[in-house]
Structure 1
């Protein structure tokens, strides 16, 4: 039975699994194993990958021996996909009844076709080879496409009974504060060949998703955003060629409430700082609505904005300020738009920015504003697609604030940092009155905290870039020093 039923998902390492073989003919690139360059594996981590070449592929990914036994190991399945829908890779599936050499693969299980751009399961009956030992190969033959991935090879037999029910991993039954993106996840059932999804706003209902066949996957993204603060009911029913699972349990979950600053009337006050990092705060567009339904004038398509949240700031004496957003590690929000107004009606737009900040984030510089006036800031998610909401950082700042505070701090503490820029060690001129030190990156994140510091700060682990080194003094005051890590 050693070569009977088995599964291979390449997650044990980045080398060719025992008993498998590859043949690298044609272009120089061959099959390799590891985390995919784009997207995710069909099962947890690794895949087999073949990258494009200017010379046509003639590359074989060959399974270990399959001892074909009726009702035990007379079926092979695997998942395949192309990296890009623009560059679909040609491949065929061949079988050998003798060995793993190239001339032995004379039987065609599948003629040449394009691998789709989503994980797709391919299943082949081996019942014609009962009592024999066979090998199966994915034979890639394309030129100058991009990448083809293969994952989760399984040798088993066709089911004879319906599958058992599955269970949700996220959301769980009774969960509250669930993201409105509508992503459902569940555990895989070995004998299932697919799953049907039902979601409704009443128990047993299907007004949101009506028994949609999701295919052989363990995740499903409901089209559009779900409503905030709403109870939903969901059921996943596994199926196979015999039929559907019976008696699968329904779960209920409640989506998150809209952000407190979803409306302009509840705009969050920003404290004006001297730079982005000084008083940056975090926010989120998750579950936000488009309130009021304004447009962003700086976009080629002004209506290409999703839900928004609101902030406000008081104009400093200089009449100038910068408003900027930045990304948060792990957040799905990667592109914002900022619109600034003189009041909550949105009738008077003072400025708009899309991508002037870092990456696709926003940065708007305003001048000649009325000192003491309150400005209202709308932060939009770029695009009307249902995905992409999440956390971000925002700050309002002006150099004039820095000039006043730094002058007082330097006069009182007379501390300096050197060398600046620095490589691994940043020296502070006198730390006897320094209680602690916080190192803040340009996105406003505290990346290092040092209690009772020595005069030589060991900062070799930081990435290159600009940092704010905040010296927290024993008397409660602070001094902020700009330092550049080489």
Structure 2
């Protein structure tokens, strides 16, 4: 039995018009002038609303759709009457989708020159409309000029058996356009102050383009207009952390413009952090401003949260009242906690610092890895160690940041092994070269190590008995042992930046 999408279907008929644009968004019943002729099984054309679903309409919220049935369809979705007039209503276009590649739905497009009844659809505009199956829509256009002077009806006809869903949206009847409407619009390289957009070039030689944009909700005609000779444009300057909308149309000079595309949307990123040291202690119940969760596996349902204790209450925040945590009930699921973009180009010795704890559960330990991008379009690259062993108390970590840039990104990637969780607190990005020589590193057991950074010696102080002193590399390798009763460690022979 094929799995059905959980989408509500509602039917109803009737009414009439000429020269129209219909996106089926006004109601969950067929619009005025439209008719569904049900001549086969019980399933027929109806309106589908996608609000809250896992796929979308081409524009707005609704489509006209027909669902599969175990017996053959014999169904028409019929437009309002069209009086075909040259230069006024001699053109038809629509967007169509066949949802499932394993069960491809197709339709035909037919014409009646008399009445909106099944037997009257004796002319064929397209014998087979078969869009590539999937979530995307494809545009279909037809010249009606052969019917000039006549009143006609267009019938979208389905006769398939036990396929899936066929969806129609944005049906347009009007004049043959002077230019193609831009399609396949892509938004990429979105930053805090700009976004790049592109689309499929018009088939009309010499066509140019206009883009109109503004903050989400702006009234078209009041936005900013960009003219472009290429099938792409950069929208700039923009405000950081702001949602925008835009439209695109083609221009064919003296022949005029195409219609505008349906509205498109994007949101700019946060502006890069420029003040250092930058710190975050996760003191609220929600994700910090300009931070983000990025799903790696698990479908995006598992994210970092902000807790007062870990899974068995053995770890509490390093800095009260909360800490970041990644913990799931599904082993292998991963999610990244992304810091805001950072402008570390001016830091002499940029360094990431944070505290980590990950308590085991019957030997299982959740894992942490740190990744960076020097630029938003780069691939993630791991830095520092893979923290795959237990830290039952807070571990203070320092990682030098390579390839510094003005749009640097850092991600904390948690991997679930169904343990007590990965806990992170006291995150900071600092310029290690400007920290004072009296800076002190103090771990959760009250042991003080100073100065930080140090050149030749570090001092070790504790009011507790120390059983051993070991110096580790940034990758966790043992590089030096120190007498447990020593109050000072000689590090003069070690490489600069090699320990933490």
TM range (shorter): 0.3 to 0.5
Q: Which structure has the greater CA radius of gyration?
A: 2
What TM-score, normalized to structure 2?
A: 0.45
